[in-house]
């Protein structure tokens, strides 16, 4: 990989976008490598994934303007599809994904963060969708996910005005879950990932699936989705061990992921 670093620490996978001289901006190569990295995650041993950016200034400063400036209409649509396909892969990835946002998260960077399950940021983080100031719309899901996360009115304000918001405002409007000093961000992300990893992996994955699928339909249909996934858990060794440990007033020996 040219621009993506990957390491596994125990049951946690850590993906780092490594293009610091360009503030980790997204181009076609970065997007391709990001998708390939998720495809290669060991689903048997990894139980949570963290995405972050190299350096202390930027998570992802946006899509690569130099590359985008030469696109035609059809090329622009295709570039948008490439980004959307990768971010949708992350959003639907069976394992929870935590964004550790260390600095700028603008345009495609904000969109990448929004495709993750949980967003933690440093106190120097800045968020925004500056695309209309460049003569384009957000192209990697910004018009859709931002409204779903912070509400339609706030999303329209941020997109129409190209206004950026800092970490404290991002927390207030619900764009991020928590804010940490920069030096403590990865420790906090790894601690949260570790908490996720200690729980029954099949149940965690089923919970993610139930939330994602349920949000796309009406309440009655969503409850049926939950009921089926809930029922499926009772066929797993994890459920048997988890409940046995509870009744015996002890900690779980080991979740087997089956």
Helical (H) or strand (E) element with 30: helix 28-39
- Select which of 2, 44, 91, 111 is catalytic: 111
Rounded distance, CA 129 to CA 143, Å? Answer: 9
- Select which of 78, 131, 190, 248 is catalytic: 131
The answer to whether residue 7 is catalytic is no
Distant-in-sequence, close-in-space partners of 5: CB < 8 Å, separation ≥ 6: 15, 16, 18, 54
Rounded distance, CA 227 to CA 85, Å? Answer: 29
Find where tokens 């100031």 sit.
133
The answer to whether residue 237 is catalytic is no
Report the candidate in 242, 245, 229 with the shortest Cα–Cα distance to residue 199: 242
Distant-in-sequence, close-in-space partners of 53: CB < 8 Å, separation ≥ 6: 16, 17, 20, 23, 24, 59, 60, 101, 102, 103, 109
Cβ contact 162:133 at 8 Å: yes
Residues carrying an active site annotation: 111, 131
């Amino acid at each position: 990989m040219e621009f993506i670093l990957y390491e596994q620490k125990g049951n946690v996978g850590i993906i780092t976008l490594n293009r610091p001289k360009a503030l980790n901006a997204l181009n076609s190569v970065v997007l391709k490598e990001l998708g390939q990295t998720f495809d290669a995650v060991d689903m048997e041993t990894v139980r949570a994934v963290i995405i972050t950016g190299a350096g202390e200034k930027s998570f992802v400063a946006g899509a690569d303007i130099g590359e985008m400036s030469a696109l035609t209409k059809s090329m622009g649509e295709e570039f948008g599809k490439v980004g959307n396909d990768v971010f949708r892969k992350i959003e639907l990835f069976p394992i929870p994904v935590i964004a550790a946002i260390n600095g700028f998260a603008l345009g495609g960077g904000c969109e990448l963060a929004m495709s993750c399950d949980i967003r933690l940021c440093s106190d120097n983080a800045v968020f925004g969708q500056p695309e209309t100031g460049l003569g384009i719309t957000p192209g990697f899901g910004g018009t859709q996910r931002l409204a779903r996360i912070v509400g339609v009115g706030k999303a329209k304000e941020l997109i129409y005005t190209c206004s950026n918001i800092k970490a404290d405002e991002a927390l207030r409007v619900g764009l991020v879950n928590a804010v940490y000093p920069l030096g403590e961000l990865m420790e906090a992300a790894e601690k949260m990932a570790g908490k996720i990893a200690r729980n029954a992996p099949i149940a965690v994955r089923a919970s993610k699936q139930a939330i994602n699928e349920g949000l796309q339909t009406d309440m009655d249909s969503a409850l049926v989705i939950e009921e089926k996934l809930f029922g499926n858990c009772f066929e797993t060794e994890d459920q048997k061990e988890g409940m046995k440990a509870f009744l015996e007033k002890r900690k779980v020996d080991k979740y087997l992921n089956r």
